[in-house]
Structure formats: C-alpha cells, structure tokens
Amino acid sequence: MAQPALIVHGGAGPVPSSELADRQAAVERALEAGWSRITEGALAAAVAAVRHMEDEALLNAGIGACLNLDGEVELDAGAMEGSRQRAGGVACVRDVRHPIDAALAVMEDGRHVLLSGAGASRFARERGIEMCDPAIFITDRKRQELLQGADTVGAVARDSDGHLFVAVSTGGIKGKLPGRIGDSPIPGAGMYADDRHGAVCGTGQGEAFIRLSLAKLMVVELQHGMDPASVARGAVEHLGKAMSAVGGVILIPKEGEPQAAFNTPAMPWAMRT
C-alpha cells in the first residue's frame, strides 16, 4: 500500500505582498478540500483541490482570473492520470463554470486530448457540465486588469493504491492575445503523470514550459532515479538558465514526499501526507 499524498499550489507569478497571506489561506483551503476526498482516489483529490481554487477570487483560475487583450477572461485547464497516461484539456473557454470539470470530461471521453474555444464549450454543454455567463469570472475588473497572471493553480495527488493524478487550471497571462493557449492543458509541458515514476505540474511563463517540455523532462529524470527534490530544483534552474523565465513546479514521486520549487519571490503552496 502506498502512502497517500497531496500537494497544491496557487501560482508562482508576481504576488503583491498585501495578498500573499490571503493567497496562502486560499491554497490551504484547497488542500483541505482535496484531502477530504483522498480516500476516493488521486483523481478525486486533485480535481477537488483545483475546483476549489477556481472559486478563489485571488487566484488566477476561474473567478477573478486575469484578462486578455480584449478585456475578457479565457480559461485553460488540464488533467492527466498516471496509470494509463490518459489526459484531457480545454483551452480558451469563456462560459464553463469549472474548466477542470471539462478537462476531466475530455480525458474520460478519450477521443481527443485537447479541445478549445467554442468546440470545448459545446462539448462541455453536451456532457451536462455546468455552464455560466462569462461575466461571472470578472469580479474586480480594475484588479484583474493589473493582475500579471502567469500563475496557474495546480494539484498533484497519490492515493493508497499508488495511482497518481495531476490537475491544473489557469487564466493565462495578462494582456494575452485572444486565443492564446498556455502550457497548462498540454501533457508534457505544464503537467505529466506516470504511476511508474511520478507526477508533476508547473506554473509560470507557459511558453517556456512548452518549449522545454519541462513536465515530461522532470518525469524522465525521476525515471532515471534522480532525487525528487533535486528534480524540482533543477527544473526551475533549467527554466531560468535556458529561457530566462520564471516559474515554479510541484511534484509527487512514485514513493516519498511531495516536493516544490520556484524562482519567483513567492509561490503559495501546501502539502499533506
């Protein structure tokens, strides 16, 4: 029997000092929401944690997410399981109440890995996923116009059967071009899970994660027997040196403690085993 574990983060982008404590508290609440479901499996725990963070207005996912160049909220989310490497994601959705629910549905449907825009919304609607008026995501337009973004939220879980699951959600980056898709819903870039080795997710400058295939690289390093803490630190160092980019990562290895690393002033995160 494996030791259950859950680690969550609220983003490694610029965090105003006045918000840091409140963001940390939001992450702690998400940890509790996820941990309360851990006996149901890694999938249930990770999704519950991310779903909660989509409701926390101070985090860049769901309600309160940053705005694109047109002043609108476009949301990405992704999910991946470690047992069969099934993955699903949605991108540029505006009217899906909880994008992580839609990403999970894409994964479970199995025909595709990533749906975007109107097609993703149609898919969600046909699956009975909760939809909403896009206006619900804008709670404080002045604050959201200033929000830098680049701080995806995410969760990685391991259950007692040794199964791993990763879930991520984001509003992207401030002033992004409409239609921009970041690393969050892309397996191998912003997330990856493999029960044989570990599961990871990232937060930060998505284009850099995509170019480096950073999430997959981390799992390969775990496969080669590298120490999990060194993998996390090394990934962030590689991000900075290779791309002059900022960000953070969280991971859970097949065995052992969860790990986190970042090269930004702050990354609210919390874990439990």
Domain boundary assignment for the chain: 5-272
State residue 236 phi and psi, 5-degree precision: -65, -40
- CATH number attached to the domain at 5-272: 3.60.20.30
For residue 150, what pLDDT is reported?
58
Nearest to 199 by CA among 183, 182, 223: 223
Judge whether 193 and 165 are in contact, CB under 8 Å: yes
Give the integer Cα–Cα distance in Å for 231 and 129: 37
Amino acid (1-letter code) at residue 80: M
Choice among 139, 152, 170, 264 that is catalytic? 152
For residue 253, what pLDDT is reported?
98
State residue 250 phi and psi, 5-degree precision: -130, 150
For residue 148, what pLDDT is reported?
65
Judge whether 30 and 79 are in contact, CB under 8 Å: no
Q: 64-89: string of b/e by CB count within 10 Å (b at 16+)?
A: bbbbbeeeebbbbbbbbbbbeebbbb
For residue 143, what pLDDT is reported?
80
Judge whether 5 and 17 are in contact, CB under 8 Å: no
For residue 226, what pLDDT is reported?
98
Give the integer Cα–Cα distance in Å for 163 and 108: 16
For this structure, is 152 an active site residue? yes
Over its length of 273 residues, how does the chain's per-residue pLDDT go in tens digits? 999 999 999 999 777 788 889 999 999 999 999 999 999 999 999 999 999 999 999 999 999 999 999 999 999 999 999 999 999 999 999 999 999 999 999 999 999 999 999 999 999 999 999 999 999 999 988 788 777 665 799 999 999 999 999 999 999 998 999 999 999 999 999 999 999 999 999 999 999 999 999 999 999 999 999 999 999 999 999 999 999 999 999 999 999 999 999 999 899 999 999
Amino acid (1-letter code) at residue 210: I
Give the integer Cα–Cα distance in Å for 156 and 18: 27
Cβ neighbour number for residue 265 with a 10 Å cutoff:
12
